[in-house]
Structure 1
Amino acid sequence: MLNGKLKCVTTSVLRRKTAFHRAFSSLNIIGSGDQSYIHHIGKEPLIYRNVGQQLQLTASQYGSNEAIVSCHEDKRYTFQNLLVEVDRVAAGLRKLGLQRGDAVGLWSPNYVHWYISMLGAARAGLVSVGINPAYQNSEMEYCLKKVDIKAIIAPESFKSTNYYEILRDICPDIAHAEPGRIKSDKFPHLRAVIINNAASQERLKGALSFNELLDMGSAEEQAQIGKLQHTIQPESPCNVQFTSGTTGNPKAALLSHLNFVNNGMHVANRNELEGERICVQVPLFHAFGVGITIMAAMCKGAAMVLPAAGFAPADSLQAISKERCTVIHGTPTMYVDLIAAQRELAVPLGKIKKAITGGATVSPQLILDVKQVLGVERMHSVYGLTETTAVVFQSIPGEAEDCVLDSVGHVTDHIEIKVVNEQGHLVPFGQPGELCVRGYLTMLGYHGDAEKTEEIYGSDKWLHTGDKFILDRNGYGRIVGRIKDMIIRGGENIFPKEVEDFLNGHPQVVEAHVIGVPDERLGEELCAFVRLEAGVDPKTFTRDSLKAYSKGKIAHFKVPFYVVPVDSFPKTTSGKVQKFKLLPQYTDKINTQALNA
């Protein structure tokens, strides 16, 4: 059980203030003189409600609105229909013997059954666990053990991954068990494997089908789910998000119903989502999918449109067109690919009110391309962490365009923000330091890891983000980089994002990422990996050509010494570029050059 089992310790600063005034003049923020501290009280009180209660309220307010449209599955649900299906899942999970606080693993790309199961687990008082659908045997074994997963729901297969076979390989007892009654010494908590195999309808040994789960609870047991809601405390665990770390095993961030409902409502309010239709390119298992997308859409009766099970730019364009999407959700790398596809396909997209981006830093050039190529009226930024239920900063309706170009948004409601130096002291507004957050949105802690929880939390409940950040007294902020990503070149501190933003403005560059590489004399040197526009000869894009382009535009020591053209970047399923995988590519290039010299 997760419930009750956690032990934890609970190019410049923005200077265009005249342009910003309209955007923040009415916001209720309290500062601390000239020091980087803000408490944004907000205009509306926090909501004391669990996820199941929020779904029920939405169904009563927006019942006939479409809740989700899965283009690739040809399925549609209104919020009224959705609530019925969700309670069927909840009743089925309880019928399997799962009890309050038990963990239910959701291991799947973007299918409707993921969405229904996540909400069903919440309505049953269980804890859903979002698992990356790209995970393989050893990673899945780690997840099953880390949070004591009792039931796991997955498709039979997707592309080259057969989920059932992986589960059977790591737990052979499944194949010899009665469905729903798995007994395994290796995984003592695991009881049920539920496979959505609607396409084949093949009976898989030891597994229940998703349709069988839906039919397990009687009509009376399904009706009892509604009556159960008042017993589920908003502060209780609701979801586990595995952090996408670059070294070691991922940590399991435990989030509450209160986290989900309130962050979802504040995202929905800021982005004015009521009645909108959202093209969902992000994976549902990720914090962007479950927090910024599912919860925000549900709070305001917005429709989620799933173009494909996995991100596919052409499918996204077709979904936007056919389903009349008015909002797009995606990470920066997804927008890069979407823009490239639209330049090639020229799909008629209709009126798109806003594109919401998060999950990584975004360059000013990309924002301009989104508006010009996709015809988006406004770009909205969100910034946050898994440990903060997705959103800490976000755009404000009607703000000046410079706010989006120069910041990650304005601090969201009902939280405190401060920026500190290495000694933990506040820095002045406009000076870089580590961003710290305190408020309702911070996680309950890392499940089963009190030591890591205490590292990220201070005894005063401030959560240390690890992000190098600049805060302005008006509540807007911007990321300078990750504290650990800073490159020290001959004593000069360089943050990769600044250089990346510059390179992304180059007319021949589609996307650029910068890392530090070892250098005998300087300690570290800059290496830029660039994806070039179609038709550009990589041999002509060299350090010398880049130096010529950079003259008078950026300091000489920030011009990358090494330039490596690439066809693509290694990415997580959620679209984040895995920079730690770039260093071996640099090493291979240098070794190859040495052999050919």
Structure 2
Amino acid sequence: MTSAHDNQQGPPDQLGPATIGQLVAHAAEAYGDREALADGEVRWTFARLGEEVSAAARAALAHGVRHGDRVAVWAPNSRQWITAVLGAVSVGAVLVPLNTRYKAAEAADIVRRSGARLLFTARGFLGCDYDALLLNSGEDLGQLSGTVVLRDDGEPAPGPAAPGGPETPGGSGGPGPSHGPTLAYDAYLAAGRAVTDAELAARTRAVGPDDLADILFTSGTTGRPKGVMTTHGQTLRVFAEWSRLVTLRQGDRYLLVNPFFHTFGYKAGILACLLRGVTMLPEPVYDTDRILRRMAAESVSVLMGPPTVFHGLIHHPERDRHRLTALRLAGTGAATVPTELVREIREVLGAPAVFTAYGLTESAGVVTVCPTDADAWTIAHTVGLPLPGTELRIVDPAGEPLPTGEPGEVVVRGYHVMRGYLDDPEATAQAIDADGWLHTGDVGVLDDRGFLAITDRIKDMYVVGGFNAYPAEVENVLRGHPDVADIAVVGAPDDRLGEVGVAFVVPAADTEPDPEELTAWTRERLANFKVPRRYHLLPELPRNAGGKILKGELRRTARKGGLGT
């Protein structure tokens, strides 16, 4: 059955900026002296933000960033992240964000495969110096020719080549000049002063709506990250619609707790704020104590995040001591959302407008949005209506549409579908069929209103505190442990994180794997959110006649609990 709602919640916005560079200029002109950003003691208007982004764009040109060059960023949320990225993308660079929880090998793999020439990074975040971790890793960094430290919140990392000034060949303790110099952000910006207005204008004009804006890497069922390519025009059209549907409006104050390396943080955060004249309040990490204080002090009106964010606020013992009366809009999803949580967001936190949504990186982040005024059951049990101007179907394994109420694979078609996977035409052809339908790998059902409910995941992905985890990647790591003969990982519900990983382990001969040791092994090799929280030891994994692991059976077992760590 096809569902296409072109008039969801009113007509679409009028034609606006066609590129991200045009968006920055539009916001500076349209919202001018309104507050655009508050980061620590720094407060900028939209006009000032536009000037800061222009300075970063000049710097990108001064450092040789060409149209189409890939620029990676491995750093937490900050104003420097915003200006550096928007500046580079404004003059034609293609953004490649890296998860701040990655280990050095994971980050290096994406830097190398994307062909990134410049890397923006940070020092001192959660005790990490990302430039040192990467440059000292011994990993092949491909075409990387320079690193810029956006923010240094700690002491320089120890090493034989600790920085003695704004520029250090090879970085702090790095492998030498083969990967170019490491610059402080101020030094990076200073070089841009030599770039003329005419040069900047020419490069900005050369960027078009069909040019690539970003490549976001997302792991597939094989565990190998794939680079999703999306254009300027797609991104802006999707988030102009999304911003309108969720009722984001001029004057809102939006606490940006979702990480900028994710579509939700960057596009539904930074770009949406520029589109609608909303004040950005970036947070590098989610800490409930700090969030409560800042929400009260900054009169936060918009908060979005996975259920764990709202669960933490609602149940915080000192919540009543903080004035949260400005909160009006709350967005959640990316995991199971209890009906009671929706009611508590409205009644306890006092946010009348609540929504859930569904999307994937391959759809520019959005497929459906549930109206903010829907009843609590609908918000919790569905993900709403398709994005205006797009199509959605539920199909059987042969690709034939199914009737209302019948479960099947969710497929979507429209302007929001990715341009493809980077350097992977085979995977692209598997994801997008000859008629342009993107096969999501998710199982869903449409009700008689056209609302979509997601009931299962064909691809077995699960979501831990808002982060996507893919069993195959975790399984590949655990198979390398000498005590593991076979392994299967599934997601299971968790009150705090939405879902967590549960591993089913077949021990190697004459061994008894220790859960704590398996956890340490995995944590050394993967980001922490990917590490299983529980383990079951089994003599063998359940399989069907064809030898395929029966993960449905394992999920049922996982819900009952297992051997903990």
After TM superposition, is the score higher than 0.5?
Answer: yes
Please, which of 71, 79, 83 is the counterpart of residue 112 of structure 1?
A: 79
Q: Is the 8 A contact 1:278 1:305 kept in 2?
A: yes
CA distance in 2, matches of 1:270, 1:229: 30
How much does 1:405 deviate? 3.3
Partner of 2:145: 191
How much does 1:472 deviate? 2.7
CA distance in 1, matches of 2:86, 2:352: 32
1:372 matches 2:347: yes
**1:303 counterpart letter in structure 2:** T
Please, which of 474, 492, 495 is the counterpart of residue 449 of structure 2?
A: 474
1:49 matches 2:18: yes
1:60 matches 2:29: yes
Partner of 2:473: none
Partner of 1:326: 301
Please, which of 397, 400, 413 is the counterpart of residue 438 of structure 1?
A: 413
Partner of 1:101: 68
- Identify the range of structure 1 (472-481 vs 337-346) with the bigger mean alpha-carbon deviation: 337-346
Please, which of 535, 553, 556 is the counterpart of residue 584 of structure 1?
A: 535
Matches within 5 A, 1:134-533: 134-170=101-137, 186-198=140-152, 203=165, 205-206=168-169, 207-218=182-193, 221-222=196-197, 224-245=199-220, 248-274=223-249, 275-306=251-282, 308-341=283-316, 346-485=321-460, 500=493, 513=499
**1:64 counterpart letter in structure 2:** D
CA distance in 2, matches of 1:159, 1:168: 18
CA distance in 1, matches of 2:426, 2:436: 15
Structure 2: stretches of 5+ with no match in the other structure:
157-162, 170-181, 463-489, 507-521, 540-556
Go from structure 1 to structure 2 and tell me whether the alpha carbon gap of 1:515 and 1:120 turns closer, same or farther (over 3 Å shift). Answer: closer
CA distance in 1, matches of 2:364, 2:401: 24
**1:40 counterpart letter in structure 2:** D
CA distance in 2, matches of 1:396, 1:224: 45
How much does 1:154 deviate? 0.8
Cα deviation code 1:444-468 (max 9, x no counterpart)? 1111111111111111111011111
Q: Is the 8 A contact 2:94 2:215 kept in 1?
A: yes
Please, which of 35, 38, 43 is the counterpart of residue 4 of structure 2?
A: 38
**1:296 counterpart letter in structure 2:** A
Go from structure 1 to structure 2 and tell me whether the alpha carbon gap of 1:86 and 1:330 turns closer, same or farther (over 3 Å shift). Answer: same
**2:200 counterpart letter in structure 1:** I
**2:440 counterpart letter in structure 1:** T
Q: Is the 8 A contact 1:288 1:390 kept in 2?
A: yes
How much does 1:75 deviate? 1.9
How much does 1:311 deviate? 1.4
CA distance in 1, matches of 2:381, 2:345: 16
Cα deviation code 1:496-535 (max 9, x no counterpart)? 99x95xxx8xxxx666648888799xxxxxxxxxxxxxxx
**2:439 counterpart letter in structure 1:** H
CA distance in 2, matches of 1:398, 1:365: 16
CA RMSD, Structure 1 to Structure 2 (Å): 3.3
How much does 1:334 deviate? 2.1
Go from structure 1 to structure 2 and tell me whether the alpha carbon gap of 1:142 and 1:267 turns closer, same or farther (over 3 Å shift). Answer: same
CA distance in 2, matches of 1:466, 1:209: 43
Structure 1: stretches of 5+ with no match in the other structure:
1-34, 173-185, 488-495, 521-569
SS at match of 1:461: coil
Q: Is the 8 A contact 2:505 2:536 kept in 1?
A: no
How much does 1:485 deviate? 3.9
Q: Is the 8 A contact 1:419 1:434 kept in 2?
A: yes
CA distance in 2, matches of 1:510, 1:310: 17
Q: Is the 8 A contact 1:36 1:472 kept in 2?
A: no
Go from structure 1 to structure 2 and tell me whether the alpha carbon gap of 1:476 and 1:397 turns closer, same or farther (over 3 Å shift). Answer: same
Partner of 2:172: none
Q: Is the 8 A contact 1:470 1:480 kept in 2?
A: yes
- Greater RCO structure (CA 8 Å; 6+ sep): 1
CA distance in 2, matches of 1:194, 1:577: 27
CA distance in 2, matches of 1:259, 1:293: 16
- TM norm structure 1: 0.73
Go from structure 1 to structure 2 and tell me whether the alpha carbon gap of 1:227 and 1:484 turns closer, same or farther (over 3 Å shift). Answer: closer
CA distance in 1, matches of 2:361, 2:238: 12
How much does 1:403 deviate? 3.1
How much does 1:79 deviate? 1.2
Go from structure 1 to structure 2 and tell me whether the alpha carbon gap of 1:282 and 1:87 turns closer, same or farther (over 3 Å shift). Answer: same
Go from structure 1 to structure 2 and tell me whether the alpha carbon gap of 1:378 and 1:248 turns closer, same or farther (over 3 Å shift). Answer: same
Cα deviation code 1:105-157 (max 9, x no counterpart)? 11101111111122112211110111111122211210111100100011123
Cα deviation code 1:210-267 (max 9, x no counterpart)? 1111111236535643443332110110011111557523211111101211111112
SS at match of 2:136: helix
SS at match of 1:278: strand
Go from structure 1 to structure 2 and tell me whether the alpha carbon gap of 1:157 and 1:223 turns closer, same or farther (over 3 Å shift). Answer: farther
Partner of 1:560: none
User: What percentage of residue pairs aligned between the two structures are identical?
Assistant: 27
CA distance in 2, matches of 1:486, 1:158: 28
CA distance in 1, matches of 2:43, 2:538: 49
Q: Is the 8 A contact 1:278 1:303 kept in 2?
A: yes
CA distance in 2, matches of 1:395, 1:150: 40
CA distance in 1, matches of 2:233, 2:378: 29
**1:281 counterpart letter in structure 2:** V
Go from structure 1 to structure 2 and tell me whether the alpha carbon gap of 1:161 and 1:420 turns closer, same or farther (over 3 Å shift). Answer: same
SS at match of 1:356: strand
SS at match of 2:110: helix
CA distance in 2, matches of 1:364, 1:247: 34
Please, which of 53, 65, 90 is the counterpart of residue 86 of structure 1?
A: 53
CA distance in 1, matches of 2:130, 2:28: 33
How much does 1:346 deviate? 3.8
Go from structure 1 to structure 2 and tell me whether the alpha carbon gap of 1:187 and 1:352 turns closer, same or farther (over 3 Å shift). Answer: closer
**1:116 counterpart letter in structure 2:** T
1:127 matches 2:94: yes
Q: Is the 8 A contact 1:36 1:473 kept in 2?
A: no
Q: Is the 8 A contact 2:342 2:354 kept in 1?
A: yes
**1:438 counterpart letter in structure 2:** R
**1:333 counterpart letter in structure 2:** T
Q: Is the 8 A contact 1:431 1:470 kept in 2?
A: yes
**1:95 counterpart letter in structure 2:** A
How much does 1:441 deviate? 0.9
How much does 1:358 deviate? 3.1
Go from structure 1 to structure 2 and tell me whether the alpha carbon gap of 1:223 and 1:64 turns closer, same or farther (over 3 Å shift). Answer: farther
SS at match of 1:341: coil
CA distance in 2, matches of 1:511, 1:358: 12
**2:229 counterpart letter in structure 1:** L
Partner of 1:20: none
CA distance in 1, matches of 2:309, 2:387: 25
Partner of 1:76: 43
SS at match of 2:168: coil
CA distance in 2, matches of 1:438, 1:454: 14
- TM norm structure 2: 0.76
How much does 1:369 deviate? 2.5
Aligned residues between the structures: 474
